[in-house]
Amino acid sequence: MTIREFKMPDVGEGLTEAEILKWYVQPGDTVTDGQVVCEVETAKAAVELPIPFDGVVHALLFEEGVTVDVGQVIISVQTGPADEAPVETAAAAPAAAAPAPAAAEPEAPAARQPVLVGYGVSTASTKRRPRKAAPQPAVAAQNGTGVAPAAPAPAAPAAPAAPVAVPAQGGAGKALAKPPVRKLAKDLGIDLAAVIPTGDGGVVTREDVHAAAAAAITPQAVAPQVPAAPVAAQAAPAAPAQAPAEVPGSARETRVPVKGVRKVTAQAMVGSAFTAPHVTEFITFDVTRTMKLVQELKEDPDLAGLRINPLLLIAKAVLVAIRRNPDVNASWDEAAQEIVLKHYVNLGIAAATPRGLIVPNIKDAHAKTLGELSQALSGLVATAREGKTSPADMQHGTITITNVGVFGVDTGTPILNPGESAILAVGAIKLQPWVHKGKVKARHVTTLALSFDHRLIDGELGSRFLADIAAVLEHPRRLITWS
C-alpha cells in the first residue's frame, strides 16, 4: 500500500504552531479530497483543515489537545489499493522485530502532491520520528484497519515480536496502544498491561489510561477484573478529567498549561506593554442624546433588521474623530525608524469568546455607511462567539475599541493591540445626577479611556482625539456636521 502524510499547514501568515482541538476521523475511515479531518486553533482562531487527497486513514499522529509545530505530520492516509494492506501486514507479523516498523510505515512517493494555501511540499523523502528499538505491538493496530492480527503468543521467549490481540490473554504480551498513549501511561505511572482497553481491536485509548489513573486513587475502584469496567469507561469519558481534584492535598492549586489563545494573548500583551510607552487619558460626559438617537434609529424603517446599539454610534464617532485627527491612525516601524500613516481604518473590536480574548477588525470601516457598519459589526461579533474568526480577520488592524461597559465597569487602562497606536475603552452607560442647563438632572453618563503610543502620539493629539469622540457622542448631530 502507499502511505501519504499530511502536515500541519500554516493557515495564517507566519504561524509556527497550532493546537489540535478535535479529530473528525479515526483510523480506518475513508476520506476524500477536500474533506475536513480536524479542527485546530492557531493565532486565536479555530480553523478546520481539509485533507488534499483521497484514501483511508492509516494513523492519527497526535492526540486532541496537543500543540503541533507547523510542518509536522499530523495524519497519514493509505492511498493505495485497500487489499494490499492485509497481505503486507500479515507477512510482517511473523518476521523479526526490526523490520516490523518499516513494514507499517512505507515512505510516500516523490510524486506531486496537492497542497493547501500556505502549505508547502518537501522534495525530500518523508521521515518519521525514530521509535524505540523494543518491539511495539501497537504498530499492528495501525495497519489501516485499526485491528491487530490474531497471532498466537510464541512459546520461545526469544521472539517477543509476536502481537497480542486482546488483554483477555491475561497479560501474556504488551498492550496495544499508540505512542502518545504509552507516554501518558508512563507519565502517570500506569501499567498498560493492567488497563482494560475499550478501543477497536483491543487498543488502549487515552481515556482508558485516565480511567485507570482515577481508579488507582479511588480505593473502591482498584479491581480491573470487574467486567463492567469497560462500559463505565465508555459511558463517562469526561470523568478522568476531574480525577486530580480527588487527590488529597492537590485541591489547593491547579496548574493550567499556557497554550492557544492564552499563550498568544500573553505574548502580545507583554510585547506591547514593554515596547510602546503607554499613556491613558479619561473623559466623563453626558451621552443622553446619543441614547435617544439609538432608540430613534431602531424605529427607522431604512435600518429595519439591523442591530442598532450604542457601540455602533461609538464606532462611528471614532471614525469621525480619526478623520479630524488622521495622525492618530498610524503605527511605529522600529526597524525602519518610521511612522507609518494609514489612509484606511481597520477598526478592531475586542471580543470575549469561550477560547479567550480576540480582536477581529472591520476592514475599511472608514468607507462604510451606518447600515454597512452595523452589518459588519454584527457579523464580526457572531463569528467571534462561534469561534470561527479567521486569522485574516485579526490582522492589519489600525485602532481598537474595547467595550468593558458590558460588564458594568466604569472604565480601565487598556493595553495597545500590537502594531496599533491607540485603543479606546468604553465604560458602562449609567443614569447619574448631572448638571444640565443649570439644573441637576438624571442623565446617561459614561467614561471613555484612551490609551495611546506616546512615541508617535503626543499629549495634545491624543487629547484632541479623545475630546472629539466625546463631542460627537454628546451632540450626535456632529456625525453629520463633522463628516
Note the pLDDT tens digit of each residue in 276-288.
899 999 999 999 9
Angle between helices 459-474 and 310-324 (to 10 degrees): 140
Q: Using alpha carbons only, give the angle 87, 88, 93 rounded to the nearest 5 degrees.
A: 100
**Cα–Cα separations (whole angstroms), residue 379 to 47, 351, 388, 425:** 17, 12, 11, 21
| Comparison of pLDDT for 85 and 458, the residue scoring more | 458
Band of pLDDT at residue 137, cut at 50, 70 and 90: very low
Is the confidence at residue 424, as pLDDT, over 80?
Answer: yes
Q: What is the mean pLDDT of residues 33-44?
A: 82
Mean pLDDT across the chain, nearest whole number? 76
Nine-digit cell string for 334: 522600529
* Residue 470 one-letter amino acid: A
pTM of the model: 0.56
pLDDT value of residue 14: 61
The percentage of residues in the chain with a pLDDT greater than 90, rounded to a whole number, is 44
Give CA–CA dist 198/413, Å, rounded.
52
Band of pLDDT at residue 127, cut at 50, 70 and 90: very low
Is the confidence at residue 403, as pLDDT, over 80?
Answer: yes
Band of pLDDT at residue 190, cut at 50, 70 and 90: confident
Band of pLDDT at residue 166, cut at 50, 70 and 90: very low
Catalytic residues: 454
Note the pLDDT tens digit of each residue in 90-118.
333 333 334 444 444 444 444 434 444 33
